[in-house]
Amino acid sequence: MAATIDIDAERVIARREREQTQTMLAQAPDKVAEALEWLKRTLAETERPAMSREDFRAHCGTLLEQLVSEYTPAEREQAADEMAALRYGWGKLDPLMTDSTVTEVAVDSPREVCYWQAGRLLPADGRDGRPQVAFRDDDEVRRWVEAKTQFLGRHFDRANPILNVMLDDGTRLQATREPVSPCVTLNLRKPPAATRRWTPEDYAATGAASMELLDFMRTAVQGGVRLLVLGATGTGKTAFVRLLQEHYLPAHLRLLILEAEREQEPERPRTVSLQEVRHGARRGRDEAAAIDMNDLADTAGRKTPDAYTVGEVLGVGEAAAFFRAISTGHSWCFTTMHADGPEDAMDLLTAYTSGGIWKSLPQDRVERLVHRSLDLMVFLRKLPAPDNPEEYRIVVTQVFEVMPLTEGGDPYRLIWQYNPRLGGHVYVRHVSPWRLDRWEQRGARIPEEFGRNEMAAHRAAEDQRLEAMLSELACGGERGGGRVAAAGARKGASPKEGGGAAGRKTAKR
């Protein structure tokens, strides 16, 4: 049975908790924790001018001198140090948050802290050279959260048990407490600027992707691929798109990024990032946006973009922005979404798109639009690490080609498959020759191992078909086009010159 919450009652309980905390401070066994609680309340009630970490620590020490009769100098000094470490650093989480190879940190309970490093989930238990991080109790975790967010104008109590904020440095903080969770839980997702960016060599070294697969992705991106990257939360979808943008997207292209929260931040020239703006200080997805994804799409279209990235498709707005870019003729379009397989991805994407600017179209037409618009789907998953099944690593497991919907045709074609029993990533088949032809026209170099010979045979067949059609029209067939060609010939132009030669040049362009 789902839990029900009386908000008014929870507000009363929250107020009583604050009153009880103040009453019990004198009986608290941890004098430093008591001083920290007093210091946190005092700082929240006074003005906070801009100051350095050293000045802030000295300011805390000055405030604590008011309690000289209650705390020893050592207790006051430790409380001031911990407050400064929380305000300008990460306190007990410093070893993890200052490590550029760590991308996210989670506190599931006071004694259970874990982190993501190089695509693997690891416990901070001190074993095998890992950092050892733990909190004393649930109250210490709660005080940590409150200290980091006290100047953001947000409450974290029983009446407001879910907290989603972005800290000053771009770190995304998400926390829960009773009655939502039995204890305080915490997730900290670090911004790209604070983490070491993965390179193609990193993907190959960890087994996340082979160099051959990455060479294939280079070919696709240089050819103007329209790409959907899929996977569960924490599978590195954003990092994978950033890798493609930084290493494979041609530097002369102008890239526009549209996001609800700024996460991509690729290090490349000619890049403009646009972010939604929500009302007030809160930045939750449940808030109405003052500037939404539709506004960003309008703005991006006026900035003469060559390439688009929509940060993550979470609903109608992002799907509409993504397909607006594609339907206006743009190649080099990237986005991410949560899905476990190609059918689920297409069903969800079709549902989102049907609710946007194409809502007047029948469902089957929207589905055909989605299939015609996309080139590839890349799936990432968390798999058990080979050397330790209790740990996980991120792997590119499948790459599908998305096919136009035709009667009796396959809607998807598997191109790459991860299979550890066969030595990792297996190249299953070439991308369709007509798609390779389009990629080469946009600047990609199609190597023989990715289907160059098949593409050349397709081109030859298309040239022959076009020659036959033009010859038929030039001979004055019954079609209107034939009459136009014949009329041109009567004006002095040779049908062969006006049809064959010019037609071949047009086809090659």
Q: Tell me: the pLDDT tens digits for 148-205?
A: 887 777 788 888 899 988 887 888 899 999 989 999 999 999 887 777 788 999 999 9
CA–centroid distance for 429 within its chain: 28
The region of weakest confidence among 21-25, 226-230, 328-332, 343-347 is: 21-25
**Within a domain: 461:** yes
Average of per-residue pLDDT across 242-258:
95
* pLDDT computed for residue 281 by the predictor: 42
**Within a domain: 16:** no
| Final residue in a domain of this structure, among 143, 168, 194 | 194
* pLDDT computed for residue 413 by the predictor: 96
Average of per-residue pLDDT across 208-234:
95
Instruction: Check pLDDT > 80 for residue 136.
Output: yes
Task: Please check whether residues 427 and 478 belong to one and the same domain.
Answer: no
Task: Please check whether residues 201 and 167 belong to one and the same domain.
Answer: no
* pLDDT computed for residue 444 by the predictor: 95
CA–centroid distance for 497 within its chain: 53
Tens of pLDDT along 10-58? 666 666 665 555 554 444 446 777 887 788 778 766 666 678 888 888 8
Task: Please check whether residues 35 and 136 belong to one and the same domain.
Answer: no
Nearest-angstrom CA–CA distance, 411 and 416 = 16
Task: Please check whether residues 469 and 375 belong to one and the same domain.
Answer: no
Tens of pLDDT along 401-431? 999 998 778 999 999 999 988 879 999 999 9
Number of domains in the chain: 4
**Within a domain: 17:** no
**Within a domain: 49:** yes
Task: Please check whether residues 31 and 133 belong to one and the same domain.
Answer: no
* pLDDT computed for residue 496 by the predictor: 36
The region of weakest confidence among 60-69, 90-99, 224-233, 499-508 is: 499-508
Cβ contacts of residue 103 below 8 Å, gap of 6+?
116, 117, 189, 190, 195, 239
Instruction: Check pLDDT > 60 for residue 286.
Output: no
Task: Please check whether residues 278 and 182 belong to one and the same domain.
Answer: no
Q: What are the residues facing 91 on neighbouring strands?
A: none
| Final residue in a domain of this structure, among 447, 467, 483 | 447
* pLDDT computed for residue 490 by the predictor: 38
Nearest-angstrom CA–CA distance, 396 and 230 = 10
Entry pTM: 0.73
* pLDDT computed for residue 420 by the predictor: 87
Termini Cα distance of the chain: 64
Strands 226-231 and 255-259: unpaired
Cβ contacts of residue 453 below 8 Å, gap of 6+?
none
Domain interval for residue 168: 93-194
